[in-house]
Amino acid sequence: MLALMAIAAVGGGAAGAALYAQGDSNSGGPETTRVVDAPQLDYTSLASIASGVSPSVVSIQVGQNGGSGVVMSEDGYILTNAHVLAVATSDQVRVRFSNGDTAQATIVGADERSDIGVIHVDGVSGLTPATFGSSSEVLVGDTVLALGSPLGFDGSVTQGIVSALDRTLSPEEPDAPALSGLLQTDAAINRGNSGGALVNLAGEVIGINTAIAVENQAGGFLGVGFAVPSDRATAVAEQLIEGDEVSHPYLGVRVAPAETGGALIGEVSPGSPAEEAGLREGDILLRLGDRPITDSNDLVSAVQSAEVGQTLEVEFERDGTPQTTDVTLAEVAD
């Protein structure tokens, strides 16, 4: 079995089918076929993209562990993963920039449920902020670059594609939060890449690299990596910088995949939005709002992509009978 593991430890043109143009058969002349070469990926452009983004990607040292980060502002705010900062014994970490300079940084805040953290480097100016693109525009098959410090090798760049969208990672630890809405990529990611940039061909950061699939805890990259989408990452980071609480919607059910499709409720938490909406153990959830629910991961993603206080219609099946009800999502309790 594959284990999903967070990775904080140290350590354009897309090719397509040929185009065919059919001549006008009504013109009276002979039909002709024109063959056009498929557009090729310009690897010199990838080098230009990498060199343009590299000054915005840093290495973060936390004790004997390390990860990566992405510069958000000229005055020293840097976005990374919460799990990169989780092992810190104080609010101080060390940052190394692409030019080799180092500086002390202070932990501004971290949100475990989104795996996003922010640090601030004091007494600096003129840093090169990354350009953040909208992850809502990302498509499966888009070419991407992953930049970071895998295994301690600062300034590393790998290339791949976006393999899938809206992935949900369920942790092995029962009390750890699930991560949803993630981008999946086959760009090589290893220990130390956590908190680094996933970049599109416009040189925009569209994800923050956060986890990989491994065969065991000592394993390396198997071609399946995950990134927190930029829209979510920057929204959480800005809340942390402002000192605001990061909200997390809560339904209050434990579910498993239903044999016939959907999410089978195994437990409803007392006093939860699910209980108040009349949902019961044994109900099979099929839709939340406009999001179809085909398994338990779909439900996690649908809840986490909604907002606290939002009222959504729930479609479910009880004893073989389709039903609907409304549920108002609450803030998850710490």
Residues acting as catalytic residues: 83, 115, 194
Helices H / strands E in the chain, number of each: 5, 23
75 exposed, middle or buried (CB, 10 Å; 0-12, 13-18, 19+)?
Answer: middle
Alpha carbon distances (Å) from 211 to 53, 163, 173, 193, 305: 21, 14, 15, 9, 19
- How crowded is residue 268: how many other Cβ atoms within 10 Å of its Cβ? 22
- Cβ neighbours of residue 296 closer than 8 Å, sequence gap 6 or more: 170, 255, 256, 257, 263, 264
Report d(CA 9, CA 192) in Å as an integer. 5
In the block, tokens 């007494």 appear at: 123
Strands (E) in 72-148, as ranges, are 77-80, 92-96, 102-111, 116-121, 143-148
At a CB cut-off of 8 Å and minimum separation 6, what does 144 contact? 159, 160, 161, 162, 185, 187, 198, 199, 200, 201, 206, 207
Beta bridge partners of 213: 4
Amino acid at 260: T
- Residue pair 190/214 in contact (Cβ under 8 Å)? The answer is no
Q: Which residues contact 6 (CB under 8 A, 6 or more apart)?
A: 81, 83, 115, 194, 210, 211
d(CA 122, CA 183): 32
